[in-house]
Amino acid sequence: MSWSFAQLVTGPPGSGKSTYCCGMKEFLSAFGRKVVIVNLDPANDSLPYECEVDISELITLSDVMDKLKLGPNGSLVYCMEFLEKNVEWLHERLEQFHGSYFLFDFPGQVELFTHHQSVRNIAKQLEEWKFKLAAVHLVDAHYCSDPGKFISVLLTSLSTMIQLEVPHVNILSKVDLMEQYGKLAFGLEYYTEVMDLSYLLERLPESNFFLKYKKLNEALIGLVEDYSLVSFIPLNVQEKESMFQVMKVVDKANGYVFGKNDEAATLSSMMSTAMGADFDFFKTTLAKEKYLSSDT
């Protein structure tokens, strides 16, 4: 049985997961890939894309809330546990599209990826079914404008990476909207490369609240730096060059570039070999020049 390649698209609510799936399917399809979107968000009843597999055929958030009288968070946890227990339903639906490239659109509840076990167990099951996976974790770029929120984002990204235990790519989405969020304290590469985080402490508001938790914030950024795992790729889903950069990194993460031979994968491999890290730096610089004013 041959391998299938897939992206597990995760991230907080509003980070652009469904928009990413829609745009990435269109982008990859242009290179000749047969792309299948799998909606695994039982609360997503207004999809911006046509999906081939939809969890609503199995269970919906509204049904759980009505029948079990649970809140939205508890209902989402229940839905993921229900999917885990009925994972053969998912297997049967995926088998209909054997040989395709899969995009799994997950719910935005961060607890599902930071410490709950169901999504992790589903990912392990996918690997047993011969799926080569990469987690694509989206974070809204507006968090860069608030040092406290950016520290929280770093912790969430790190926790997700450790919990899922699959190759992981962090995306800074909506970089084309960054000017609307306000001036950044540092250049964009500071946030994408997650440089010396001690500078963030100097940018926290000088209020009693933040001073009280200064040592806690120092410990948190120390934790992120100790692991040295978190970095981000800037993304504007409307821009082809930006989408190509993300595709290049994800193809290396899930192994597609080594196992397939379409035009996109070949070009991705050639550019990676020829330009290496300098190409990544160039793309971040290009995003900064295009979307940020010169004084940021």
Q: How many domains does the chain have?
A: 1
**CA distances from residue 240 to 11, 18, 155 in whole angstroms, order as listed:** 22, 17, 30
Tell whether 214 is covered by a domain.
yes
Q: Are the C-beta atoms of residues 157 and 11 closer than 8 Å to each other?
A: no
Tell whether 179 is covered by a domain.
yes
Residue carrying the six token digits 């295009």: 290
Which residue segment(s) compose the domain that 61 sits in?
4-291
CATH number at residue 244: 3.40.50.300
Tell whether 156 is covered by a domain.
yes
In 3-state terms, the chain is what percent helix, strand and coil (to 5)? 60, 15, 30
Tell whether 34 is covered by a domain.
yes
Read off the pLDDT of residues 73-119 as tens digits, 9 standing for 90 and up: 999 999 999 999 999 999 999 999 998 999 999 999 999 999 999 99
Closest CA to 150 of 207, 226, 201, 210: 201
Read off the pLDDT of residues 38-75 as tens digits, 9 standing for 90 and up: 999 999 888 889 999 999 999 999 999 999 999 999 99
Read off the pLDDT of residues 178-204 as tens digits, 9 standing for 90 and up: 878 778 889 999 999 998 898 888 888
Residue 4, C-beta contacts closer than 8 angstroms, at least 6 positions apart: 94, 98, 99, 100, 101, 102, 129, 130, 131, 132
Tell whether 16 is covered by a domain.
yes
Task: State the burial class of residue 135 (Cβ atoms within 10 Å of its Cβ: 0-12, 13-18, 19+).
Answer: buried
Tell whether 95 is covered by a domain.
yes
Residue 20, C-beta contacts closer than 8 angstroms, at least 6 positions apart: 9, 136, 138, 171, 173, 235, 237
**The token pair that represents 279 in the structure block:** 């190409």
Tell whether 296 is covered by a domain.
no
Give 37's DSSP letter: E
Ranking 152-166, 231-245, 281-295 by mean pLDDT, the lowest is 281-295
